[in-house]
Amino acid sequence: MIQSINPYDNSLIKTYDEMTNSEVDSILQSSQLSFNEWKRVPISQRAALMKKAGAVLRSNIKEYSELMTNEMGKPIVQSRAEVEKCAWVCDYYVENAEKFLQDEIVQTDASKSFVSYQPLGVILAIMPWNFPLWQVIRFAAPTLMAGNTGVLKHASNVTGSALSIEDIFKKAGFPENVFRTLVLSSKNVKRVIENPIIQAVSITGSVPAGKAVAVAAGSVLKKCVLELGGSDPYVVLEDADLEAAADTCVTSRLINGGQSCIAAKRFIIVESVFDKFEKLFTDKMISKKMGNPLDESNDIGPQASIHLRDELHDQVLRSIKAGAKLLLGGEIPSGKNAFYPPTVLTNVTPGMPAFDEELFGPVAALIKAKDEAEAIKLANQSVFGLGSAVFTENVKRGERIAKEELNAGSSFVNAFVRSDPRLPFGGVKESGYGRELSQFGIKEFVNIKTVYVK
C-alpha cells in the first residue's frame, strides 16, 4: 500500500495499491508494442500531439498546481509556475525536435554518408517528489518526440501527480501506452530496470539512489542519465552589488522550500564584505513568511515530510556541534506538520555537514574566504558539481570564473541557477552524468547511427 500524505496538516490524501509484477510486465509489453508503431509516426504528428499536451497543462493549471501543493507542500504560486514551465518545455520541443534530429551529412569517401538519430525503445524514468510535474515532463517531452515510449516510476508521496501526467498525455491524444505510470515502491525498481524491454534509464534523485540505479543498469549494459544531488556554491566577491546579490541568494535558497538540487546552499563571501553581506542576507531571510502553501501570501510551505524535516534538523544540529554559529531559525516549530524555518548558519567550514552534505531545505551556510582564489577553492571543495554562481560587477571577471574556475554543470553570473529548456542541464562529480533539455537532452536516448552508402 502506497500513501500520499499532506505535509501541511499530516492528513492522508489517498492510498494506492502497488502494482503486481504481472501488472508491471503487462504495461511494459504494451509500451513495447506501442513503441513499434510510435517510432514510425512522422515527427510532425508527434509535435501536434505534444502541442496539445502543453495546452492540456495550461487549461488545467489550477487542478495540477493544487495537487502538487497538497502532495509535497510547494507554495501554490510556485506550483502554478511549474505547470506553465512544463507547457513551455512541450512547446520548445514541438518547435525544435525535428531540427535537432535531422540527418547530418558527413563528407567521406562514400557516395553518401550521414549520421541519423533513431529512437531506442521503452525508456524508464525514475523521478523525485520535489518538482512532481517538471522533472517528468522535461524528460517526457524530448523522449517521446524522439520516437521512444516512456514509463514512469515516481516518488511514492506524489503518486497522484504521477497518474495525472499519464492522464495529460491521454487527454492530448497520444496513442495508448506511449506514456505509462508504474505505481511501485523503490524496492521493486531493480526488477523493472533489468527487464529486457527497458532500453535506458533516466533518474533524478539522491546520490545513493543514483548509484543504485547505475549499478543495476550497468549490470545489464543499459545507458542511464543521472541528475543527482547538489551543494551549489554562490561566490560573492568584494565588488558585487551586495543588496542585489543578497536578494538573489535568498530567493535561490528558499525556492521550493529549499528542496531543490540546484538551490543555492553554500554562500562563500570574501572577508572584506562578509559582515555586510551576512546582515543583508539574514535580514532578508527573516522577512520571508512561512505558512499554508495554498495561501498566496506565504513564501515557504512545509518540507515534503516530517521524516525529511527531521533529517535536515539533524544536519543543522551536527553542524552547530562542529562549530557553526546559528544566526536564525534552527528550531522545529510545534505542531504535526513538517515546517522548518528559514535558517542561517555562519562560521561554516569544511568538515561540517552544512559544508560537506546537501542541505535539502531552507538552511543557508555562510562561509568566509580571504579572497577570490580561496573562494573558488572552497566552492570546488565538494563531491557535488551541479550548479554554481558568482556575483561581481565586473562581468568579464565573472564570466571568466564561471567558465574556467567553477567545477559544475552550470555556472551563472549575477543570477541564480535554474533549468531552461534551451540550455543543457546536468552535473559532474557526484551530481551525476548525462544531460537533459536542449538539443543535448533529446539525443541522450537515441541511437546515434552512422549510415554509409557506397
Catalytic annotation present for 261: yes
Torsion of CA 215, 221, 223, 227, to 10 degrees: 0
Active-site residue, from 166, 227, 278, 372: 227
- Residue 61 has which C-alpha cell? 493549471
Q: Catalytic one among 86, 224, 249, 261? A: 261
Whether the CA torsion 100, 102, 108, 113 is positive or negative: it is: positive
Catalytic residues: 227, 261
